[in-house]
Amino acid sequence: MSRSYYRTRIKFCGMTRAGDVRLAGELGVDAVGFIFARESKRRVAPAEARAMRQAIAPMVDVVALFRDNTREEVREVLRTVRPTLLQFHGDEDEGFCRSFNMPYLKAIAMGGREEATARTLQLRYPSAAGFLFDSHAPGGGGGTGVAFDWTRIPTGLHRPFLLAGGLTPENVYDAALATLPWGVDVSSGIESEPGIKDGYLMRTFVEEVRRADCAVLD
């Protein structure tokens, strides 16, 4: 099967500099993410994210990432940053996630022993626009730079899913072919240090994803 007409979406997360945001748009990235989780090394204030938003290219989604933030903290980001998509990485339930009347992704921690099933996830978060499978353990944060066993991704999902956790320019080609995700999400894999993106790694990551999109599968 040729994947010539298949395009894997790309999200760069943990943005902290306007220049990195601008380059992401020039490289054709589909979304950039700002992190508002309190414990994250890449956390930015709403006012900082609003300033960086000016560097976002047209037709690039703005994703706001939260992990067990309060309802008011989320609302402040909505007012200040005007994201187009929300992403929840904590213990937020369906009622909390949908209460903001915006499309959202629910991150699923794949670093624990519990096996997620498509049925369980879709029953637990029926209004989710999609799921993001990350390598952190339940209760932990993303951006660990460690991959998980991709064969554990549940089959039978009726929603788009993004692959995250330990992705780099060196492994994203294999990851895309192995899992056929709707999208890939990278943070530490394109950094020189937390929050500081490396232009060469950003470009190479995009090139490797596009190479996978054009691969021919047996």
Active site residues: 13, 134
Q: How far is CA 133 from CA 114, 152, 157, in A?
A: 13, 10, 12
Structure tokens at 99: 């209460």
Structure tokens at 136: 């952190």
Beta pairing class for 191-193 and 196-197? antiparallel
Distance CA 218, CA 127 (A): 35
Distance CA 35, CA 39 (A): 10
CA 190 to centroid of chain Cα atoms: 13
